[in-house]
Amino acid sequence: MENWTIRLLLAAGAISIVALLAAVPNPPTPSHGWLLIANKGDHTLGIIDPVEGKEVATVDEGGFTGHEVAASPDGRRAFVPIYGNSGVGKPGTDGATVAVIDLATHKLIDTLDLGKPLRPHCAVFGPENGLLYITTELGNSITIIDPKTLRILGTVPTGQAESHMLAITRDGKRGYTANVGPGTVSALDLEARKTIAVIPVSHVTQRIALSVDDRWVFTADQTQPQLAVIDTAKNQVTTWIPLQGLAYGTAPTRDGKWLLVTEPPIDKVAVVDLKSMRVVRSISVPKAPQEILVRPDDQVAYVSCDSSKQVAEINLKTWNVDKLIAAGKSADGLAWASAR
């Protein structure tokens, strides 16, 4: 009797332990999704599994070239503005379409025709309204698109030529474009669809990013190694950050502490302390770093490296390059498609 009693008690205890473990939620896993990359030289969108550290699929853009990519908030589709076969301000073909790619099937499923050649370039989703905003350089404008119906809803004038890249505030009300040839930044009211200010920066400027609190806009001077810091309350350059090399792409970490800056001529990524507005470290990456994307969990930053056909994965805790991921020719624009 005593042995049976002991066995029953042990069995009941085991069942209780199993029930307790079942009630405990699974431990959190690292942020997962797909890293998307515009392979300009191959005319493809690359889909990268960041866990495996490899490109798992490429999608042909129809023989045309997209420089940038945006992922829909639900992570199901990618939108690639088809720019053309030239660089900004240079002669070549003028794109007039936006490719729509299904990320589950890895197929081009639709093409939006903008109606005329506009060299569409940077695509950004509005954080509140879910609309798609695309820089349309030859129209000196931002084009607003309903991503569900692919209807063009209107435009926002930038007041400048070569409005190349776009950043949008967290509330979705303001936009800022880097206007390459004019060397300016346009501040935009996206709701009223008008230009608020045109801010002089340099003879030539490139790329643009906002601090996570929307207090600062960052854009790179292309005439000397320095970064312009624009106060969004004043709409003017208030600080210059000296660099080792000419800058290009920028991205803040999500904790608001650091700004990462690519320096293509010297194959480096500079890390700027946003309290002191000074470079505090420099990270070596493969040749010609272009764009930077900080992963949603703020653990990793990805850097597209044009000439090496690679993406560098930077650990934001150790500041080491943990992985080099093979990509396509002339790797450039990056986006993150959240897995759902």
DSSP-derived secondary structure for 14-67: HHHHHHHHHHSPPPP----EEEEEEEGGGTEEEEEETTTTEEEEEEE-SS--B-
Is residue 123 situated within a structural domain? Answer: yes
Helix (H, G, I), strand (E, B) or coil at 143: strand
Q: In this model, does residue 33 exceed pLDDT 60?
A: yes
Is residue 156 situated within a structural domain? Answer: yes
Helices (H) and strands (E) in the chain, counts: 1, 28
Which pLDDT score, from 0 to 100, does residue 339 have?
80
- pLDDT category at 64 given cuts 50, 70, 90 is confident
Is residue 95 situated within a structural domain? Answer: yes
Report which of residues 293 and 339 the model is more confident about. 293
The encoded tokens of residue 4 equal: 């049976």
pLDDT digits (tens, 9 = 90+) for 285-333: 999 999 999 999 999 999 999 999 999 999 999 999 999 999 999 999 9
Domain count, the chain: 1
- pLDDT category at 340 given cuts 50, 70, 90 is low
CATH classification of the domain holding 103:
2.130.10.10
Mean pLDDT of the residues in the chain: 92
Q: What is the mean pLDDT of residues 34-50?
A: 97
Is residue 19 situated within a structural domain? Answer: no
Q: What is the mean pLDDT of residues 142-155?
A: 98
Q: In this model, does residue 10 exceed pLDDT 50?
A: no
Which pLDDT score, from 0 to 100, does residue 63 have?
80
Is residue 198 situated within a structural domain? Answer: yes
Percent of the chain with pLDDT over 70: 91
Q: What is the mean pLDDT of residues 67-78?
A: 97
Which pLDDT score, from 0 to 100, does residue 31 have?
58
Q: What is the mean pLDDT of residues 215-225?
A: 98
Question: pTM for this structure?
Answer: 0.90
Is residue 12 situated within a structural domain? Answer: no
Domain span including residue 109: 30-338
The burial class, CB within 10 Å (0-12 / 13-18 / 19+), for 151 is exposed
Q: What is the mean pLDDT of residues 73-102?
A: 95
Q: In this model, does residue 163 exceed pLDDT 80?
A: yes
Is residue 3 situated within a structural domain? Answer: no
Q: What is the mean pLDDT of residues 153-173?
A: 98
